[in-house]
C-alpha cells in the first residue's frame, strides 16, 4: 500500500475519527492493513464482527453478538477507555436503516471522539442515510500498487519453493496491475496447481481474469476487433497523430519526459469512421477495446450512477493498458447542462469522469465519439480534457475514391472497375454511405444473375439520399464550429 494512504489512515485514527467507512470488498486485505496500523499506533486492540461469527479478536469474547448488530456496537462500552481499539464491522451497512442502529451510530459518533476507539465499516457500496452523512468518514481503498503486487507475488512464489527471476517478476507485476489482491492470489493458485510454479504462461491467465471481470460488468463490453488503420479510407492527419500517441506509451517516452496520452474526442456526422477508428486504434496498438454503455450509468436507483462510474473506472484500469471507447458521448451527457432534469446526477458523473481523465496515471486511452457538439457540455470540450479533438468531415474526392476502392477490394480483390464517374456522383456521401452504394450495386446485379459493374455503382449512388442533404444545417453548423480552431481536421484535405 502506498505510504500516503497508510499515513492518512493513521492520521484519521489518531485524530479519533469515530466511524470510518473503508470502501472496498477486499476484506482480507483490509484486515492486514488495519493490523499493521494497529501495530504502528501503539499496539491497539483489533477485533472484527460479522453477523454469523460475531466478535473475533478480543480475548474471552469470541462469538459474542452473533446475529445481533446492536450488541456489536454495545461491545465497545466494555473496553477500558485508556486502551485504544479498532472494531471492524463487515456488511454493517445493511443494518444502518434500522432506527435503533442508526441512533446508536449517531451516539457513538459523539462519544468516541472522547475515547481512542474507532469503528471501521467495510463495504463496497453504502447508500448512507442522511442522518449519518456527517458521522461517517469515507476512505477509498485503491487497488494494490506495483510494490504491493510485487511483494505478494514474491511471497507466493517463495512459499512454493520458487525464486522468481527479476524479469519474470516484473512482467507478472505489470500484468497483474489493476487486479484485486484476491484475484491475484487466484491466478497464482491456478498456475501453481497446473505447473507447480509461476511462469510466463500465467500472463494469459491474468488476461483471462481481466476479461471475466469485464464480462461481469453491466457497463463495459469487451470488443474483439480485427480492424486496422488500413481499413479506414482517408483521415491521414488523424492516423499520423495516432502513430505519435502510440509511441508515447513506451518506457522510452517516460524517460524522455512525456506523460501518458489521455485520449481523443472524435466528432463528425454519422458514417465518417469514428467507431471504426476506435476499433482500429485498439487492434493496431495491441490493446483490449472496452466499450462503455453510457446509458447504463444512469439506470437504477438514485446515487447508483456515481457508484457505477467508480466501478467502471476501476474495471477499465484493471484492463490497462487498454482503449476505453465511449460511443456517442453526446447522447449520454448531452442533457447535462444544468442538471435539473435528473437531480444533478449527470453533472456529478461527468465531473467524476473528467476528473479521472485529467488525473489518471494508468495507461487507459479514452476514445470518445460524438455526432454533434451542440448538446455536449462546455467542460467536456475545453482543451486539456482530451489530448486533441478531431473533426471527421465528409470525405473529399480522393478519399471517396480510396473508400470505394477499399470496399470493392474487400469483396472483389481483383476488381478493375473505373471509379471516376462514381466518385463524381457521390459528392457529400459519408464512408458508410459509400459502402452501401457498393452493397446496393451488388444486390442489383446478383438479382439479375450477373456480376456488377460501373453502371450498377452509378445507379445505386443515384438512389441513395445522403445525410449531407437531409441534415445539411447540422453539418454546416458542425463545420463552422470546427473552423474556429476548436477541432483539428482528421484529413489534410478539406471539402467534398
The string of pLDDT tens digits covering residues 248-259 is 988 789 899 999
Determine the Cα–Cα distance for residues 146 and 174; give it in Å rounded to an integer: 7
Question: What per-residue confidence (pLDDT) applies to 495?
Answer: 44
Least confident of 1-5, 63-67, 145-149: 1-5
Question: What per-residue confidence (pLDDT) applies to 383?
Answer: 75
* Span 394-426, pLDDT tens digits: 999 999 999 999 999 999 988 889 999 999 999
Question: What per-residue confidence (pLDDT) applies to 496?
Answer: 41
Question: What per-residue confidence (pLDDT) applies to 53?
Answer: 96
The residue that leads in pLDDT, 110 or 308, is: 110
The residue that leads in pLDDT, 269 or 346, is: 269
What value does the mean pLDDT take over residues 70-76?
94
The residue that leads in pLDDT, 194 or 434, is: 434
* Span 431-478, pLDDT tens digits: 999 999 999 999 999 999 999 999 999 999 999 999 888 888 888 888
What's the pLDDT band for 335 if we cut at 50, 70, 90? low
What's the pLDDT band for 66 if we cut at 50, 70, 90? very high
Q: In what order do the strands lie in the sheet with 54-56?
A: 54-56, 45-50, 85-90, 117-123, 19-23, 136-140
Instruction: Kindly provide the b/e burial profile for residues 101-136, where b requires at least 16 CB atoms within 10 angstroms of the residue's own CB.
Output: bbebbbebbeebeebbbbbbbbbeebeebeebeebb
**Range of 62-76, 191-205, 477-491 with top mean pLDDT:** 62-76
Pairing mode of beta strands 19-23, 136-140: parallel
Determine the Cα–Cα distance for residues 90 and 22; give it in Å rounded to an integer: 10
* CB atoms closer than 10 angstroms to residue 420: 10
DSSP for 113-135, written as a single string: GGSSEEEEEEES-----GGGTTT
Question: What per-residue confidence (pLDDT) applies to 301?
Answer: 52
Question: What per-residue confidence (pLDDT) applies to 133?
Answer: 94
The residue that leads in pLDDT, 157 or 308, is: 157
What value does the mean pLDDT take over residues 293-321?
77
Where does the chain hold its CATH 3.40.50.300 domain(s)? 3-140, 222-391
What's the pLDDT band for 493 if we cut at 50, 70, 90? low
Of all residues in the chain, the percent with pLDDT exceeding 90 is: 53
Q: Is residue 338's pLDDT more than 70? A: no
| Domain 3-140 is found in CATH 3.40.50.300 | yes
Least confident of 111-120, 208-217, 428-437: 208-217
Question: What per-residue confidence (pLDDT) applies to 237?
Answer: 93
Q: Is residue 68's pLDDT more than 80? A: yes
Mean pLDDT for the chain overall: 88
* Span 215-245, pLDDT tens digits: 777 788 888 888 888 888 889 999 999 999 9
CATH of domain 397-464: 1.10.8.60
Question: What per-residue confidence (pLDDT) applies to 222?
Answer: 87
What value does the mean pLDDT take over residues 371-382?
83
Q: Is residue 368's pLDDT more than 60? A: yes
Question: What per-residue confidence (pLDDT) applies to 18?
Answer: 96
Q: Is residue 4's pLDDT more than 90? A: no
Q: Please list the alpha-helical segments (H only) found in 257-327.
A: 274-284, 294-297, 304-318
Question: What per-residue confidence (pLDDT) applies to 453?
Answer: 92
What value does the mean pLDDT take over residues 100-113?
95
What value does the mean pLDDT take over residues 43-52?
95
Q: Which of 200, 225, 197, 194 is nearest to 323 (CA)?
A: 225
Structural contact between residues 75 and 64, judged by C-beta atoms closer than 8 angstroms:
yes
Structural contact between residues 453 and 413, judged by C-beta atoms closer than 8 angstroms:
no
What value does the mean pLDDT take over residues 155-180?
86
What value does the mean pLDDT take over residues 139-168?
89
Where does the chain hold its CATH 1.10.8.60 domain(s)? 397-464
Question: What per-residue confidence (pLDDT) applies to 439?
Answer: 96
Q: Which of 67, 139, 76, 65 is nearest to 109 (CA)?
A: 76
Phi, psi (deg, nearest 5) at residue 143: -65, 160
* Burial of 365 from C-beta contacts in 10 A (0-12 / 13-18 / 19+): buried
Tell the CATH topology of 222-391.
Answer: Rossmann fold (3.40.50)
Question: What per-residue confidence (pLDDT) applies to 342?
Answer: 58
Of all residues in the chain, the percent with pLDDT exceeding 70 is: 96
Determine the Cα–Cα distance for residues 331 and 247; give it in Å rounded to an integer: 32
Question: What per-residue confidence (pLDDT) applies to 1?
Answer: 57
Cell numbers placing 365: 486511452
The answer, as to whether pTM is greater than 0.85, is: no
The residue that leads in pLDDT, 146 or 444, is: 444
Amino acid at each position: 500500500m502506498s505510504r500516503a494512504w497508510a499515513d492518512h489512515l493513521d492520521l484519521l485514527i489518531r485524530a479519533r475519527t469515530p466511524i470510518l467507512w473503508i470502501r472496498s470488498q477486499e476484506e482480507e486485505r483490509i484486515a492486514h492493513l488495519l493490523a499493521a496500523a494497529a501495530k504502528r499506533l501503539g499496539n491497539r486492540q483489533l477485533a472484527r464482527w460479522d453477523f454469523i461469527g460475531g466478535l473475533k479478536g478480543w480475548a474471552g469474547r469470541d462469538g459474542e453478538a452473533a446475529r445481533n448488530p446492536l450488541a456489536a456496537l454495545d461491545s465497545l462500552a466494555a473496553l477500558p477507555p485508556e486502551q485504544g481499539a479498532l472494531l471492524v464491522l463487515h456488511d454493517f451497512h445493511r443494518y444502518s436503516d434500522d432506527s435503533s442502529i442508526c441512533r446508536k451510530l449517531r451516539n457513538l459518533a459523539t462519544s468516541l471522539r472522547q475515547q481512542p476507539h474507532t469503528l471501521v465499516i467495510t463495504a463496497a457500496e453504502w447508500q448512507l442515510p442522511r442522518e449519518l452523512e456527517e458521522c461517517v468518514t469515507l476512505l477509498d481503498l485503491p487497488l494494490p500498487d506495483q510494490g504491493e503486487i510485487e511483494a505478494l507475488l514474491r511471497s507466493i512464489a517463495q512459499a512454493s519453493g520458487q525464486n522468481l527471476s527479476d524479469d519474470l517478476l516484473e512482467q507478472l507485476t505489470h500484468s497483474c496491475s489493476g487486479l484485486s489482491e484476491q484475484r491475484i492470489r487466484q491466478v497464482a493458485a491456478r498456475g501453481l496447481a497446473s505447473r507447480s510454479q509461476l511462469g510466463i504462461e500465467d500472463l494469459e491467465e491474468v488476461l483471462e481474469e481481466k476479461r471475466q471481470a469485464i464480462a461481469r460488468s453491466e457497463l463495459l463490453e469487451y470488443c474483439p476487433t480485427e480492424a486496422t488503420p488500413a481499413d479506414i479510407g482517408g483521415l491521414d492527419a488523424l492516423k499520423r497523430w495516432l502513430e505519435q500517441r502510440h509511441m508515447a506509451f513506451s518506457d522510452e517516452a517516460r524517460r524522455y519526459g512525456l506523460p501518458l496520452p489521455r485520449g481523443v474526442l472524435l466528432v463528425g456526422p454519422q458514417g465518417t469512421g469514428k467507431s471504426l477508428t476506435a476499433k482500429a486504434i485498439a487492434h493496431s496498438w495491441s490493446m483490449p477495446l472496452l466499450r462503455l454503455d453510457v446509458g447504463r450509468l444512469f439506470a437504477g436507483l438514485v446515487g447508483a450512477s456515481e457508484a457505477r462510474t467508480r466501478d467502471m473506472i476501476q474495471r477499465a484500469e484493471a484492463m490497462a493498458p487498454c482503449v476505453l471507447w465511449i460511443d456517442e458521448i453526446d447522447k449520454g451527457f448531452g442533457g447535462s447542462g444544468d442538471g435539473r432534469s435528473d437531480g444533478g446526477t449527470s453533472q456529478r458523473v461527468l465531473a467524476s469522469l473528467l476528473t479521472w481523465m485529467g488525473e489518471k496515471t494508468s495507461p487507459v486511452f479514452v476514445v470518445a465519439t460524438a455526432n454533434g457538439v451542440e448538446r455536449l457540455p462546455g467542460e467536456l470540450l475545453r482543451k486539456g480534457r482530451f489530448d486533441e479533438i478531431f473533426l471527421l468531415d465528409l470525405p473529399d474526392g480522393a478519399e471517396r475514391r480510396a473508400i470505394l476502392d477499399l470496399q470493392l477490394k474487400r469483396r472483389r480483390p481483383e476488381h478493375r472497375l473505373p471509379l471516376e464517374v462514381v466518385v463524381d456522383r457521390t459528392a457529400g456521401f459519408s464512408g458508410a454511405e459509400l459502402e452501401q452504394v457498393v452493397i446496393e450495386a451488388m444486390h442489383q446485379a446478383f438479382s439479375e444473375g450477373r456480376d456488377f459493374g460501373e453502371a450498377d455503382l452509378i445507379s445505386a449512388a443515384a438512389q441513395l439520399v445522403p445525410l449531407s442533404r437531409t441534415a445539411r444545417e447540422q453539418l454546416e453548423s458542425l463545420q463552422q464550429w470546427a473552423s474556429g480552431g476548436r477541432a483539428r481536421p482528421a484529413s489534410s484535405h478539406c471539402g467534398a
